[in-house]
Amino acid sequence: MVQRRTRAPNTAERHRRLSLLTGALTALTGAAILLWPHASLTVVAWLIGLCLLVNGFAQLLGAIADTGTPAGWRVVPALEGVLSLLAGLLCLRSPAQALALIAGSWWIVSGVLVVVAAASGAFEHRRGWASALGLLSFLGGTVVLLLPRLSMASLVVALGVISLVLGVVKVIDAVRGRP
C-alpha cells in the first residue's frame, strides 16, 4: 500500500481560494439583491452585513496565514479585514440606518487600500486587476454616499449592481491569479 503525501497549498493558492470565495459570495449577494429589489431593507442589510463579515474573516485569515509575504504588505489586507468586520457588525446591528453609510464608506476605504497596495507592488502579477477592483470599489462607495436622495429602492438596486460587479471582478481576478 502506497501512501501519498498531499502537499499543502502555498500562500498564493490560499489567497486565490479566499478571493474566489469572497468574490462569489459578493456576486451572489448582489444577484440576490437584484432578483428581489422589493425585499425588506433589513434583509438587504443583513445580506450585505454577512458578506462583509465573511470578507473580513477571509482578509484577516489571509493576512495572518501569509507568512511568506513581508509584514508591511500584510497590513493592508488586515486593515481591510478589520474594517469589513466592523462594517458587517454595524449592518447587522442597525440594518436600515447603517446600510448606505457603512457600505459606501467601506467601499471607499477598501478601494483606496487596494489601490495603494497595488501601487506598492503587493499584488505582483495582478496589479491591473487589483487597481481596477480598488477603483471600482471607490467609485461605487462614492456614488452611494454622494447621492443620499436616491429612493431606498434605487439604493438597493445600486448596492446590488455594485456588489455583483465587484464580486465578478474578484472572481475573475482569483481565476486568473497565478498560484
Q: For the residues 142-171, what does the mean pLDDT come to?
A: 78
DSSP characters for 107-120? HHHHHHHHHHHHHT
pLDDT tens digit sequence for 102-137: 778 888 988 998 899 888 877 777 788 888 888 998
Among 146, 140, 133, smallest CA distance to 177 is for 133
Instruction: For residue 1, give every residue at least 6 positions away whose Cβ sits within 8 Å of its Cβ, in sequence order, or none.
Output: none
CB–CB of 21/58 below 8 Å? yes
Query: Quick one: pLDDT at residue 15?
Result: 75
Tell me whether residue 77 is exposed, middle or buried, using C-beta atoms within 10 angstroms of its C-beta: 0 to 12, 13 to 18, 19 or more: buried
pTM exceeding 0.85: no
What is the signed CA dihedral for 19, 24, 25, 27, rounded to 10 degrees? 120
Cell, residue 55:
470578507
